[in-house]
Copies of this chain bind each other. A is one copy, B any other.
Amino acid sequence: MSDDLAARLREQGLRLTPQRELILRAVEDLGHATPDEVLAQVRSQVSSVNASTVYRTLEVLEELGLVRHTHLSDRAPTYHSNREHEHVHAVCRRCRAVTSYEPEVVAPVVERLAADGFAVDVGHLAIFGVCGDCAAKDVGSAT
């Protein structure tokens, strides 16, 4: 896996640095994390890394196809390793809970848009709404 990093960097004429290894590792360990969280993780692990290096590195890693990002809030994006199975996120606007779904859930949509030549980026998809629990709590409250 880290071999992937070395290999892919080389292919692009880019360099393997400790920071890049640490940042990729942090994303893999954290599962889902914002640039800020990645920075904190890396710093807790070892050396002192700069925030701008994290931003630049996440961009490189995404170009190399090793990580992906999606927007689960109106704030910072969330990065995750591309080694995870591709999945779709459902985000509750009330309680912020995030549920992962198999890509099959959106297959009909993907096929429909594919008919128009549009290739959906499933892993980037974030579906917002209100989860069952929160809807239940709303029954009694004023609108």
- A99-143 contacts to B (CB < 8 Å): 99, 101, 105-106, 108-109, 112-113, 116-121, 124-125, 127-133, 135-136
The answer to whether the Cβ of A93 comes within 8 Å of any Cβ in the partner chain is yes
| Contact between B92 and A118, CB atoms less than 8 A apart | yes
Task: Quote the shortest CB–CB distance from A92 to chain B (angstroms).
Answer: 7
The answer to whether the Cβ of A23 comes within 8 Å of any Cβ in the partner chain is no
Task: Quote the shortest CB–CB distance from A36 to chain B (angstroms).
Answer: 16
> Which of B77, B99, B112, B118 meets A118, CB within 8 Å?
B99
The answer to whether the Cβ of A71 comes within 8 Å of any Cβ in the partner chain is yes
Q: Using Cβ atoms and an 8 Å threshold, which residues of chain B touch A127?
A: 109, 113, 120-121, 125
The answer to whether the Cβ of A3 comes within 8 Å of any Cβ in the partner chain is no
Q: Using Cβ atoms and an 8 Å threshold, which residues of chain B touch A121?
A: 93, 127-130
